[in-house]
Structure 1
Amino acid sequence: MLSKKWISLAAILAVAAAGTAWGVARWRHGQVFIGTDNAYVKGHVTSVASRIPGPLLTVEVTDNQFVRAGQVLATVDPRDFDANAARAEASLQEASSSVTLDQARVAQAQAQVEAALSQKKLAETELARFKALYERQSIAKQKFDHVQTQAEVAGAQVDAARKQVAAAQGLLSVSRGKVAGAQAALAAAKLQRSYCTIVAPCDGYVSRKMGEAGMVVAPGQPICAIVPLGQEEVWIEANFKETQLRRVRPGQPVKLVADLDEKAVFGGRVESISAGTGAAFSLLPAENATGNWVKVVQRVPVRIKLDPGADPAHRLRLGLTVSAEIDTRD
């Protein structure tokens, strides 16, 4: 009987010792490895919207379809924009024709200047010759006055021809300005026409598809969203208690287990710690300046970056729940 009591006591002590050892081990583990179940998969969501108004001719994707950057997602009826581009093209041709005509007018005016200069030179030569004859009294004063008047008229004609050149050059500048405006209008019309084809801005999966063929869309109206699941596009946001962050530093390794498959373990590293708690950035922050204040442990978001090649199959999807455990031994 006595031996049975000692055996029972020894068993109890052994169980107590094992429990104590296990508790100490768990306590020491909890001091070094801090964890939380309040963690979620986050990522970029790119909204795709029409930049122009009009009816959708086609919508070429479905929900959850993988698309490449530049792949056509939908098309808007382009007929109105084709007409605008045609009008802009016609305006450009008209302005270009005006430039050609004004260039011809400038050339004609410059030729008239050259002709007027030749007439002026001839008149000045005649004036010099008749002046010498008049000074020798070989011709009458009336004849000399007539030649002198012709020289003055030739000079005035040169001035008039030069003013015509300036006027023609002014018209040419105006026409060139119209050409520049017509070119800008044509470029804008072609740009608007290019918006009729809506393409994927990045690689990813189509989500929240709202556009359907025949639907009239307005500028900025969402058609669908693209969710990229690449290595740099997905991260984990773990909300740790403020009492757990004393030893947390960027760069520390993190063990991640998704509820999707508890057997799948993903590696990561602490990338950054939020500048404020979740309550600080909430839509309706808590009002603590009251008489019935109760202290509540706050949670601070910690951004965790996945290790390269941690999720090659892209199993992690936005919003999934994840368990995160940070190794703070460093």
Structure 2
Amino acid sequence: MNNSEMKKMAIRTAVFGVVSIAVMLQRSATKHIMITDAAGTHVDRGNAEDSYNILIDRNVTDSQSGKLIIPLAKTVSSDDIILEDKYIDHELKIYIESREEGFYLDNAVLTDLDILESAVCYAENDTGSVCLDFKFDGLYANASSLTENSTIEVSFAKPKDMYENIVVVDCESEGAGNSRALLDMSLAVRGIATTDDDNNIKFYYTRLSDDEADIEKRCALIKDSGADFVVELKLGGKGVSSFYNGQYFLRDFNNAEFANILEKNCAYKLGASAEGVFEDDGSDQVLCCTKVPAARVEISKDYSGADDSKKIAEGVYQAILEAFEEKK
């Protein structure tokens, strides 16, 4: 390398270093730490019954408009915060491990949102830890972050305005005695979906805990989320079979096609027999209230173990990817 080339290399190195430092400083100045989303996870912070309405300050600036801005005690870090999005109940719970008792008696939440119906602070213990419970007038997707100003900022949008592809997974047992096995399947689907950043699919679940939702809430979730596909998980029959609503004829990609893709992929992943694709007899309330491609996949109770739940989830997820590809 001659002197001219060495000089050019030195200049490029210096410029790269200056740019890198500038980017690092800019990122540091605007650093946002994402808060853990514990949707469906059981959070137990105690049994204290003390509660009070949270102070709301509606005097916001232009940059604050349309957000929910929650102040934090200076001692609170990202490790002290758990966000639970109970979307099926139109509810957002934020658990904060704090050591400043009564903080939200004096510090107001800042928002001009007219979708907020109530805001209540529940004392979880006598040391300052609380659950902030916000209830909204409908289903909204949200994005949350922890700012350097010691606030949680939450923005809201209709699901279809935030996500291009949406799927609802239903796994209610409806008294069939298979609640835990069906829940494990749903959680297994969630486990795959949360680690897949490439396909940009938002999943909603009618159940991610031992609590079950009634049919009205489940159908409302399907409608309000703007779902592209609905998958219903059931245990029963032999091998793997699937069912669809033949009442609605959907152009381009119909219920029967979706049911076929589900049966094929789940049977393949399980190594089980594919028992067929059938038209539902009209008794399935979820399929009856769904006007987008939807199907119920039924798996024999012989495949209700933990390893089988993972394989079923893999089959469901692969079927959804195929369905989106076919729908294009």
Fold shared per TM-score above 0.5: no
| TM-score w.r.t. length of structure 2 | 0.21
Greater RCO, 1 or 2 (C-alpha within 8 Å, sep 6+): 1
Computing the radius of gyration over CA atoms, which structure comes out larger, 1 or 2? Answer: 1
More helix as a share of residues: 1
